[in-house]
Amino acid sequence: MAKTLTIVEDDRVGLLMDISYIMGKEKINIENISAAAVGGKAIIVLTVKDTKKATEILKRNGFNILEEDTLMIKLPDKPGELSKITQMLAKEGVNITSLFVVSRDGKETVVALTVDKKRKGTKLLEPYLINSETA
């Protein structure tokens, strides 16, 4: 299971520049990133290999960090596949708290997601789970 780091800060010009500079300076490669500004807040979600080091460095630089377990799943790359997963989780009362597409090759899609009920979500998604290091 991979880890996702979520940074929630006041939205401002240069925020992504600051984060990417700090990570690069410390030789931490950002493997995936998504960012959105909502209601004056910036929400930045990233995955890195060394989450412990990244968390320490970002906190030391004044950033608010939330670390979550991320489930990596592989689906056929065709219409309706994501719908099957979301319906299955919803039917069992598992809420998806974040989701993003990591990669697509025309045959398969790798998706990273976090859920509110990790144990139950992991069990339900077991047939789709992949080792995040092979994604």
Name the pTM for this structure: 0.68
Flag whether pLDDT at 128 surpasses 90: yes
| Matching fold, domains 2-68 and 69-134 | yes
Q: Which CATH number fits domain 2-68: 3.40.50.970, 3.30.2130.10, 3.90.1150.10, 3.40.50.2300?
A: 3.30.2130.10
Kindly write down the DSSP assignment for every residue of 54-97, as one continuous string.
Answer: HHHHHHHTT--EEEEEEEEEEEESSTTHHHHHHHHHHHTTPPEE
Q: Considering the domain 69-134, what is its CATH architecture? A: 2-Layer Sandwich (3.30)
Flag whether pLDDT at 82 surpasses 90: yes
Task: Look at residue 12 in the predicted model and tell me its pLDDT.
Answer: 96
What is the domain partition of the chain in residue ranges?
2-68, 69-134
